[in-house]
Every structure is written in structure tokens, then in C-alpha cells.
């Protein structure tokens, strides 16, 4: 497996485009389209927030067919919490796109991201769609990713290629997101394309597994958005013998490559977390099971007091243990091991005697920080990726609408 350039349009038969249609006031791109030249097998995972945006409801309905041709996405407006009119707007986005590329409406998936609770400027989108279709190209992946950004400061793109049965298989993905990031069984927006031939059932399994290992292991601010969506299109143009067995080497190769792309994108989302000055990996080891390890890791990752201490490079490690204690998971405080970077702080629950403080201060000055908590109860472990909580996070989010 090797990394390649081109993102989603590195994949055979995939074209994409991105334009400014007028939703964003500052002239940045705000409308994106991804099209497969043939019908693709399609799978998606969507937000677990009970309040789902209109485009999520529509995409959940259309994706039930298991196949799709295109995804239309706007940024600058989430089309969420706007009542009945919101669903009508999402349908109109699908209808206009379908007409413009000459397929039926239920072939189209829709996603939106941006401010919640403001009606979508649907006429601007309708006017933009013909130009968007005209601009579709096999090098348009970067324009599409730019058009799905909101507070993102960098586009998030990943693609790989690997060999399978003499055929070259490609997987490309894009993602957006830097605030309202605490995906639960789903994520912010991410769109992944692949030319592999695979059964629809296995595509769904692979997507769910890779999301659980990547996007579901990140948090910026403990808020799950109304619009979280990950969609994968697999158009089969790689020409491989279709994958139909889960226990096959071919499926495992695909899953591994898909996890690679998903994890790369998920980490990019965290690194671009709103106001983030630190990228923090939290490893909880020695747990009885994965769920316990994950709960503790997220309890630490979502603590504002841990996050502000990380921002301040303040070795206030007691907050990390306090947050672990708030996870609801039982463990023996008198047994745990605890490290920041490579510096031991607690050994069998007792504070190490030697001067650890100056070393931890040095570690906390780095941009990437690792925290390790060993419960010494079992063999399960989990890693979660997160950010600190900075003044810039407060600035960005105290005036998002203005």
C-alpha cells in the first residue's frame, strides 16, 4: 500500500468540482459535487444526534437502495432545525443535481455544513448547480474539499493505492470539521471513493468498522453535530474480482487501506481543531475491555480542565486522573500506572519520588503530546485523539454567526 495524490478523484471514474455559489459572504467556495461515471455501491454512517439535519434524513432515505451516482454538498449553512422547509430544500438540491447530470433523484446523496437554524438560500444553490456540473473534472478533488470547509484552516485529503489479485485498487477521501467534533457512531463530513468491486453488504461492514477505528475515536469539544455524515462510493472500475467473503484476504486488505485513509483524515480533523495548539493522543491500556478503555480515554479527552491545562502547558496531571474517575468505569487507584510522554508520574498508584515536574513541563511544550494510563486489570486498550482548549476556541465560537 502506498499513499498517492489526488484524493477522491484519484479513483477511476470519479469526477468532482467545487464553486462559490453565494452562501458564504466572503467569496470562499461553498458548493461541491462528487460524481461516479457509473452507478456505485454506496454506504453511509450518520450522526447519532437525535436532532438530525434535513440532508441527513434525505441521504439516509436514498442510501437504502445501496447504490448512488453523486453527492452534492454545501457549506456555510447546515440546513438543520429549520422545520419542514429544510427538508424541501434538501429534496430540491437532490432534484436539481439529478436533472443536471441526467439521473433520477434517488441516486443523489446530500450533505450540508455550517450554521444551524437559518433557512438555506436555496435559489443560490439552484443557480450554482449547472456551473458545478460543467466544472466536473478528474482533477477536481481539491476544489471539492475546499468547498466543504467552514472553520477548517486546512483541506483534509488522503488517498492510497494497493494491489489485489493483479489489479490496482484506489481509495480516496476528503473530510471537513474542526468544531462540534465528538462523533458518536458517525462523524463530521467525510466522503470516500474507491474503485474496488465489493458487495454492498461488505462495503457497509468495512465502512462501519473503519469509522469505529478512526472518526469515532476523536473529540474536539464533546459536541456531536446535527449533520455528521460519512459516505463511501465504490464503483468497481478497478476491475478486480468482486469481494464477497468477509474472511477473505482481499477484504482484510481493503479494510486495512480504508482504516488507513479514515484515520489519516480523522487525525487531520483533530489537528485542525478549532483553536487547537496541541494534538493529544490518550492511550488507556490494561483495561478489562475496549469499551471501558474508550470511556476513560474520552472522559479525559472531553474534560475542559484537562484541555485548558494542556493549553497552558501546566503539569496539573491530577485533573487527568480526576477525569478518568468521572468516566463511570471502576479501577483500582492504588494500582495504576500513569505517564505523560515518556515520564512516569504514578507507579502502582503512588507518586514517583524523583523530580518529574521539570521533565513534564518540557514534554508539555511540544505540539504533540501522549498520555498513557495503565489500569493493570486486563489486556484491552483504546487510543483517542484530541486537542487542547485555547483562547482561540472561545474567540472562534463566541462569534460564529457574525
Q: Which is nearer to a second copy, 146 or 152 (CB)?
A: 152
Map grid coordinates 501546566 to a residue.
314
**Nearer to a second copy by C-beta: 56 or 171?**
56
Of residues 34 and 373, the one with the C-beta less far from a second copy: 373
Say how far apart CA 158 and CA 268 lie, in whole Å.
10
Annotation says 154 is catalytic: no
Annotated active-site residue in 9, 82, 97, 187: 187
| Nearer to a second copy (CB atom), residue 262 or residue 390 | 390
> Residue with C-alpha cell 455544513?
113
The answer to whether the Cα torsion of 60, 232, 234, 141 is positive or negative is positive
Residue 141 burial (10 A CB sphere; 0-12, 13-18, 19+): buried
CB of 81 to a second copy, least distance (A): 5
Q: Which residues bind a second copy (CB under 8 A)?
A: 49-52, 78, 80-85, 115-119, 179-180, 221-226, 302-305, 308-309, 311-319, 321-331, 333-334, 346, 349-351, 389-391, 393-402
- Least Å from the CB of residue 151 to a second copy: 11
Q: How far is the CB of 30 from a second copy (least distance, A)?
A: 18
Instruction: Tell me the three cell numbers of residue 385.
Output: 485523539
Q: If you ran DSSP here, which 8-state letter would residue 83 be given?
A: T
**Could you tell me the smallest distance in angstroms from the CB atom of residue 20 to a second copy?**
23
**C-alpha–C-alpha distance, residues 172 and 9, integer Å:** 7
Question: Contact 262/89 with Cβ under 8 angstroms?
Answer: no
Report how far apart, in Å, the C-alpha atoms of 210 and of each of 7, 178, 369 are.
18, 20, 24
Local structure of residue 278 (DSSP, 8 states):
-
Cβ 80 to a second copy, closest distance in Å?
6
Q: Concatenate the DSSP letters of all residues of 77-117 into one string.
A: E---S-THHHHHHHHHHHHHHHHHHTS-GGGEEEEEEEESS
> Which of 15/387 has CB closer to a second copy?
387
Active-site annotation, residues: 187
Amino acid at each position: 500500500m502506498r499513499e498517492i495524490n489526488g484524493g477522491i478523484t484519484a479513483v477511476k471514474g470519479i469526477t468532482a468540482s467545487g464553486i462559490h455559489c453565494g452562501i458564504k459572504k466572503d467569496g470562499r467556495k461553498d458548493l461541491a459535487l462528487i460524481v461516479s461515471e457509473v452507478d456505485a455501491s454506496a454506504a453511509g454512517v450518520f450522526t447519532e444526534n437525535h436532532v438530525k439535519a434535513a440532508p441527513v434524513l434525505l441521504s439516509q432515505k436514498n442510501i437504502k437502495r445501496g447504490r448512488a451516482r453523486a453527492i452534492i454538498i454545501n457549506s456555510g449553512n447546515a440546513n438543520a432545525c429549520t422545520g419542514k422547509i429544510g427538508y424541501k430544500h434538501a429534496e430540491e438540491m437532490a432534484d436539481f443535481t439529478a436533472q443536471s447530470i441526467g439521473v433520477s433523484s434517488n441516486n443523489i446523496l446530500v450533505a450540508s455544513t455550517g450554521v444551524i437554524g437559518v433557512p438555506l438560500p436555496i435559489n443560490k444553490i439552484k443557480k450554482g448547480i449547472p456551473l458545478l456540473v460543467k466544472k466536473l473534472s478528474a482533477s477536481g478533488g481539491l476544489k471539492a474539499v475546499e468547498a466543504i470547509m467552514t472553520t477548517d484552516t486546512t483541506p483534509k485529503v488522503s488517498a492510497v493505492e494497493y494491489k489485489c489479485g493483479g489489479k490496482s485498487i484506489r481509495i480516496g477521501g476528503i473530510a471537513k470539521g474542526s468544531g462540534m467534533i465528538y462523533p458518536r457512531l458517525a462523524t463530521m463530513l467525510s466522503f470516500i471513493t474507491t474503485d474496488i468491486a465489493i458487495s454492498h453488504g461488505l462495503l457497509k461492514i468495512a465502512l462501519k468498522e473503519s469509522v469505529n477505528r478512526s472518526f469515532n475515536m476523536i473529540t474536539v469539544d464533546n459536541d456531536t453535530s446535527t449533520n455528521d455524515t460519512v459516505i463511501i462510493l465504490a464503483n468497481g472500475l478497478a476491475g478486480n474480482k468482486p469481494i464477497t467473503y468477509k474472511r477473505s484476504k482481499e477484504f482484510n486488505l481493503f479494510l486495512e487501506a480504508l482504516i488507513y485513509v479514515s484515520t489519516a483524515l480523522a487525525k487531520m480533523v483533530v489537528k485542525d481543531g478549532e483553536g487547537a495548539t496541541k494534538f493529544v493522543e490518550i492511550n488507556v491500556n490494561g483495561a478489562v475491555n475496549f469499551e471501558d478503555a474508550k470511556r476513560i480515554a474520552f472522559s479525559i479527552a472531553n474534560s475542559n480542565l484537562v484541555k485548558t491545562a494542556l493549553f497552558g502547558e501546566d503539569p496539573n496531571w491530577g485533573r487527568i486522573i480526576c477525569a478518568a474517575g468521572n468516566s463511570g468505569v471502576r479501577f483500582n487507584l492504588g494500582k495504576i500506572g500513569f505517564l505523560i510522554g515518556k515520564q512516569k508520574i504514578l507507579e502502582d498508584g503512588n507518586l514517583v519520588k524523583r523530580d518529574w515536574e521539570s521533565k513534564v513541563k518540557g514534554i508539555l511544550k511540544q505540539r504533540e503530546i501522549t498520555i498513557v494510563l495503565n489500569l493493570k486489570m486486563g489486556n484491552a486498550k483504546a487510543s483517542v485523539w484530541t486537542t487542547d482548549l485555547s483562547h482561540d476556541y472561545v474567540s472562534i465560537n463566541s462569534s460564529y454567526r457574525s
